[in-house]
Amino acid sequence: MKAPEGKNSSPTVETAIDPPRPVRDQNLQMVVEWAQDQLRQLTLQRQEIAQRIDTIKRTVNGLALLYGAELQRGPEVEAAAGRRRGITNACRVVLNRADKPLSTREVYAILQGEFSDLSHQPGDYYASLVTILNRLVNYREADTFLRNGSRFWQRHQSAAHESDELSGT
């Protein structure tokens, strides 16, 4: 008769790291895969649409530079122009004028000096400014980076290069 074998109580590599548990419901797995695939496709579509919008904006701006007053403005352009009079457009102006990357505090100081009517709005103006600058990055109108632990903002480089090409400089 053999002596009973004792079980090794020390964990091995195989038992120390549990592999992920398989999804037992195939329907759930199919839905998750479908949702992930849809998310990838929609993200790609959004990027393509943003690029198309940028191209159309550049075309319209180029035509406006060439033809000026002869270019008729439609009601949708008028409505968009009315919406652009706020802090977001002021941030665009500040970044477009800047010859170097600006910190959030520098953007804030320029806005207070040049667009003082906007800085009297209620709420946390500084937090709103950071949110707007982040949105401009998402819209691919601005770039952001860290330097010495501080965040800096500048006009999107390809937009600057493309507008220089349109103006012939």
**What does 100-142 look like in DSSP terms, one character per residue?**
S-EEHHHHHHHHHHH-TTGGGSSS-HHHHHHHHHHHHHHTTSE
Highest mean pLDDT among 11-15, 131-135, 161-165: 131-135
Q: Which residues of 45-54 are buried (b: 16+ CB within 10 A; e: fewer)?
A: eeeeeeeeeb
Tell me the pTM. 0.46
Phi and psi of 7, rounded to 5°? -85, 135
Look at residue 163 in the predicted model and tell me its pLDDT.
44
Show the domains of the chain with their CATH numbers: 56-84 (no CATH), 86-169 (1.10.10.10)
* pLDDT 10s digits, 9-57: 555 545 556 666 565 788 888 999 999 999 999 989 988 988 888 888 8
Q: Which residue has the higher pLDDT, 157 or 128?
A: 128
